[in-house]
Structure 1
Amino acid sequence: MKAPARKSAATRQPRENSRETLLDATSALMRELDTVEVGIVDIAARAGVNHAMIRYFFGSKEGLMFALLDRDVEKRIRQLDRLFALDVTPTERMRIHLRGIMDTYYEIPYLNRLIQRMVREADPVRVEHVAEELLKPIAQAQHRIIEEGVKAGEFRPIDPKLFYFNTIGSADGLYANRFTLSAVFGDVPHFDPQLHARYRDQTVDTLMRGLLV
């Protein structure tokens, strides 16, 4: 009797790889199409898996979006500990922080739109998680730097909440409005390192000028 054929290496590949591939595919489509409205069939096709795998790993499309947001933001949250471990002045710490936020929105141009969608449409438990675990740590870190700067005589007293919105609005402004900006100024590409570097430097300088004594 002929022994059954062994499964190929591809068949034996851990399914966890498919989970990451789905997250990568979702992220890539959002960047390329400049929208968070991507379909599960398109996501699965990009990932090279059956769309039923989305339900298997994430329960639903909302679960997939939530997992992507978690992955995108948690890496940046971990960087905050390293930021406060640096032996630098509040001014330099804020510059590093602002540059990091600008880089984040360059790398993840759909981030703010994804956050807004999750806050509007997700269940209350997930909304609370987004607020408490993903958004507040960044806002609180910025508030802490401002307080340190005011105490050191480097910053003038300002409203931390408004400065946070100044920061996020500036960081989100270029890449979240690519189509609108292209209509006014010509083509605005997805990933142009030189354009990003110029925009980041000018934006950080502008924000800091409003903060420094």
Structure 2
Amino acid sequence: MTRSQSATATRQSAKGAIRETLLDAASALMRELDTVEIGILDIAARAEVNHGMIRYYFGSKEGMLLALLDRDVGVRIRQLGALFRLDVSPTERMRIHLEGILDTYYQIPYLNRLIQLMVRDATPERVHHIAEELLKPIASAQHRIIQDGIAAGEFRKVDPKLFYFNTIGSADGLYANRFTLSAVFGGIAEADDALHERYKKQTVETLMAGLLV
């Protein structure tokens, strides 16, 4: 590598680091404040950069939030390929899939709210991108597991669309409801690792009970 190439690589690495720092800052604020309504000045302050960097790297706050959504969901979509390469039964594959969704919402409790924010008054292109590139792959994967399970005689016939909403509603329910958790159930500020593991186990068992023959 020449000196010029090395300098270019260093600059690209630095730009990538700032970009990721901004995304991490936005994610942290949404988790801590329990809202997706966060300001660019707060994001920039958390990232310790000038707020103009948001426009420089993403074009706008909305562009940054879409990039965050792409990053958060994209990681999980790539994991679906590995899930289908596992030599396991449809029952075990579904169990792993459901546990992964519960883990996702524990780590990203703002996910559904961010999706709704990003499609509200959005361009048709953005709506299409979110639906086709981020949401349909997960719904289609779950549909495929259900069909495999029915064919194998492991699952009863269920409506994949309704089961998808059962899954997402269950996954989102605990982590997006800090007020209920705190006000109704003993002043718990938010789910911790121990509560998450208990909730994940019970939720997966409940969902699987609705599937298994």
Q: Give the TM-score category using the shorter length.
A: over 0.9
* TM-score normalised by L of structure 1: 0.92
Render the CA deviation track for 1:35-62: whole Å, top value 9, x for unaligned: 0000000000000001111100111110
CA offset at residue 187 of structure 1?
A: 2.9
- AA in 2 matched with 1:135: L
Secondary structure of residue in 2 paired with 1:100:
helix
Secondary structure of residue in 2 paired with 1:171:
helix
| Unaligned stretches of 5+ residues in structure 1 | 1-10
| Separation of aligned partners in 2, 1:210 and 1:195 | 23
CA offset at residue 154 of structure 1?
A: 0.4
Render the CA deviation track for 1:38-97: whole Å, top value 9, x for unaligned: 000000000000111110011111001000000000000000000000010000000000
Q: Which has the larger radius of gyration?
A: 1
The equivalences for 1:124-203 within 5 A come to 124-203=124-203
- AA in 1 matched with 2:130: V
RMSD: 1.5
Aligned to 2:27: 27
CA offset at residue 116 of structure 1?
A: 1.1
CA offset at residue 123 of structure 1?
A: 1.9
| Unaligned stretches of 5+ residues in structure 2 | 1-10
Secondary structure of residue in 2 paired with 1:174:
helix
| Separation of aligned partners in 2, 1:97 and 1:148 | 14
Secondary structure of residue in 1 paired with 2:14:
coil
Aligned to 1:103: 103
What is the percent sequence identity of the aligned residues?
A: 75
Query: Which has the higher mean CA deviation after the structures are superposed, 187-196 or 159-168?
Result: 187-196
CA contact (8 A) 1:182 1:188 kept: yes
Aligned to 2:5: none
Aligned to 1:121: 121
- Report whether the alignment pairs 1:93 with 2:93: yes
CA offset at residue 17 of structure 1?
A: 1.4
Equivalent pairs, count: 203
| Separation of aligned partners in 2, 1:165 and 1:12 | 41
Aligned to 1:204: 204
| Separation of aligned partners in 1, 2:158 and 2:110 | 29
| Separation of aligned partners in 1, 2:17 and 2:188 | 33
Secondary structure of residue in 2 paired with 1:117:
helix
- AA in 2 matched with 1:86: L
CA offset at residue 186 of structure 1?
A: 2.5
Secondary structure of residue in 1 paired with 2:95:
helix
CA contact (8 A) 1:62 1:122 kept: no
CA contact (8 A) 1:179 1:188 kept: no
Aligned to 1:84: 84
